[in-house]
Structure 1
């Protein structure tokens, strides 16, 4: 363990630590966006669903291009442009006073995130020895959740459900993160530069065809779309349900506690769960995690008790850990080394689940109403579990491919 920690590059530590503060800034603002739009802007659940969904919709199409272009022009340029752009987007959120402006800002939020995230993960894979990659990816995931422990509580204390001034703080955090990255890149000038020979021989459509013909990768991607669909309801549909359900008192407060509990449970169970899950093919934890998330969502429909909701969050979180801690390792395992950024970018299409979740949730809340939570969350739970057949197919193909390589 100590040896692996010593092998982690200083730039990797910058990304991991920056992720803590970046996620803290994001989770004290963005998860409350749907509640703010309903409570302060008078938006309907469907309108709110469209505003929340546009971030992931833009991200779906920009993520692949961001990963691809980082292979061509270099990780450094993509990361710096996107993170400073991200800082400006949060300032835009703070200044917004119309629903359409929030729609525009969240679209740009999705664009910046989808350019920065796959590129930073590809850079981590570039500069990390093979034997340390699982540790580095899990440290990054732990950093995400460490920031998410504090973020929602700060957001609640700052009254983000009633005021959008907290977005200024988020913008400042990302600006400072960008400055630190500039210093690190200046100290490591050989890292994050363009792969010129790749840009000369592989077009964007060519890269799309290569990943599109990878049967294992596409099966995993389709399965993860449904996994992310289930995960996406926690930050969108559940928040709206807690706010507009008259039978739940102080819904915003309890939702913020649920977000914090989610992050705390991740920190507690992540490394024991990953240690156990690493004994199996990386697709198996995804399958089990998807089942856990679907069951946890069903609990929201069965019970309207805060205790039941908290237990559901614990079950949901274990499923989340199983689904997401192994995905970076899985993508890195499937990807062709010279197309690592492209594969990580293409994997961003799993955010289609985050597009569908708020739209489906908003539609169900409008059409059925909070008086029928069992019907709403039954539909959500079943749709979330639809990715399991695709993941089972990917597992069979991956096992066959590995057996063939051994022979």
Structure 2
């Protein structure tokens, strides 16, 4: 472990540490966006769902291009454009006062995230030795959740469900994150440009064709769309349900505690779960995680009590860890080095689940009402489980050398 930590590149540490502060700033505001729109601007659950969904919708289509273009023009340029654009987006959130403005700004939020995320993961893969990649990707995942431990609590203290102050802080954090990256790249000018392997890159159409013909990758991608669909209900449908349900008072506060519990459980169980899951094919944790998330969503509907909701969060989080800790390593193993950014970008299509989650959840909440939780959460649990057949097919087709 110590030897692997010493092998981690300084730029990797910058991305990992920057992820902590970036996710802390983001989780102070974005998880409360649907509640903010309903309470502050009088949006309906469906209108709120559309605004939340547009970020992921843009991300679905922009992620592939963001990863692909980083293979063509270099990681560094894409990182700079996206992270400083992100800083401006959060300032826009703070200044917006109309639902349609939030729709546009959240679309830009999705665009920046879709460019930055696959490019940063591809850069981590580029500069990390093979034997340290699982460690680095899991440190990044832990960093995400470390930021989310404190972010929602800080957001509650700042009144993020009815105030836009947290958006200014998020904008400042991302600007500082970008400035640190600029400074560090000055000392590592040979990193982040176009590699020698990419001097004659595939066209966008050819890159789509190559990834589309990779049967194992396609099965993993489709299965993960349904996994992410279930995961996306946590920050969209569940947030609105907690705010609107007659079973809970001060739902926004309790939802903030649920977000923090989610992050604490991730940090607690991630290391032992990853060690245990490492004994199996990478597909086994994905399958088990899908089942856990589906079961937890059903629990939210069947047992509308605070203690059972918290227990559901624990089950949900175990599923989340099982689903997401191995995906970056799996994609890196499937991808060829010269198309690494393209594969990571193509994998961004799993965010189609995040597009559908708030739309499906808003539709169900409008149709059944928040006082009828069982049919709402039964439907979303069932749609999450639709990913199982595709994950089983991916396991069947995964070459032995990739395990």
Q: Are 1:267 and 2:267 counterparts?
A: yes
1:113-135, CA deviations, whole angstroms, 9 ceiling, x for partnerless residues?
Answer: 00000000000000000000000
- Who is 1:91 aligned against? 91
Q: Quote the offset at 1:370 in angstroms.
A: 1.2
- Who is 1:278 aligned against? 278
Q: What SS class does the counterpart of residue 208 from structure 2 fall into?
A: helix
Q: Quote the offset at 1:309 in angstroms.
A: 0.2
Q: What SS class does the counterpart of residue 40 from structure 1 fall into?
A: helix
Q: Are 1:402 and 2:400 counterparts?
A: yes
Flag structure 1 segments of 5+ consecutive residues without an equivalent.
Answer: none
- Who is 2:325 aligned against? 325
Q: Are 1:388 and 2:388 counterparts?
A: yes
Q: Are 1:19 and 2:46 counterparts?
A: no
- Tell me the distance in 2 between the aligned counterparts of 1:322 and 1:247: 31
Q: What SS class does the counterpart of residue 162 from structure 2 fall into?
A: coil
Cα contact 1:8–1:136 (8 A) shared by 2 = yes
What does residue range 67-78 of structure 1 map to in structure 2 within 5 Å? 67-78=67-78
- Who is 1:169 aligned against? 169
- Tell me the distance in 2 between the aligned counterparts of 1:341 and 1:370: 42
Q: Are 1:335 and 2:335 counterparts?
A: yes
What does residue range 216-227 of structure 1 map to in structure 2 within 5 Å? 216-227=216-227
Flag structure 2 segments of 5+ consecutive residues without an equivalent.
Answer: none
1:51-84, CA deviations, whole angstroms, 9 ceiling, x for partnerless residues?
Answer: 0000000000000000000000000000011000
Cα contact 1:72–1:196 (8 A) shared by 2 = no
Cα contact 1:230–1:384 (8 A) shared by 2 = yes
- Tell me the distance in 2 between the aligned counterparts of 1:197 and 1:322: 33
Q: Quote the offset at 1:372 in angstroms.
A: 1.2
What does residue range 177-326 of structure 1 map to in structure 2 within 5 Å? 177-195=177-195, 198=198, 200-326=200-326
Cα contact 2:217–2:334 (8 A) shared by 1 = yes
1:177-201, CA deviations, whole angstroms, 9 ceiling, x for partnerless residues?
Answer: 0000001100100000013663634
- Tell me the distance in 2 between the aligned counterparts of 1:20 and 1:71: 26
- Who is 2:101 aligned against? 101
Compute the RMSD of aligned alpha carbons: 1.1
- Who is 1:54 aligned against? 54
- Tell me the distance in 1 between the aligned counterparts of 2:53 and 2:80: 25
1:124-177, CA deviations, whole angstroms, 9 ceiling, x for partnerless residues?
Answer: 000000000000000000000000000000000000111112100000000000
Cα contact 1:73–1:195 (8 A) shared by 2 = no
Cα contact 1:149–1:263 (8 A) shared by 2 = yes
- Tell me the distance in 2 between the aligned counterparts of 1:359 and 1:282: 30
- Tell me the distance in 2 between the aligned counterparts of 1:69 and 1:201: 10
Q: TM-score of the superposition, structure 1-length normalised?
A: 0.98
- Who is 1:355 aligned against? 355
Cα contact 2:72–2:201 (8 A) shared by 1 = no
Cα contact 2:197–2:338 (8 A) shared by 1 = no
Q: Quote the offset at 1:247 in angstroms.
A: 2.1
Runs of 4 or more consecutive aligned structure 1 residues displaced over 4 Å after TM superposition: none
- Tell me the distance in 2 between the aligned counterparts of 1:92 and 1:238: 26
Q: TM-score of the superposition, structure 2-length normalised?
A: 0.99
- Tell me the distance in 2 between the aligned counterparts of 1:55 and 1:201: 29
- Tell me the distance in 1 between the aligned counterparts of 2:180 and 2:174: 10
- Who is 2:364 aligned against? 364
Q: What SS class does the counterpart of residue 200 from structure 1 fall into?
A: coil
Aligned residues: 403
Range that drifts further, 318-327 or 239-248: 239-248
Q: Are 1:154 and 2:160 counterparts?
A: no
Range that drifts further, 210-219 or 363-372: 363-372
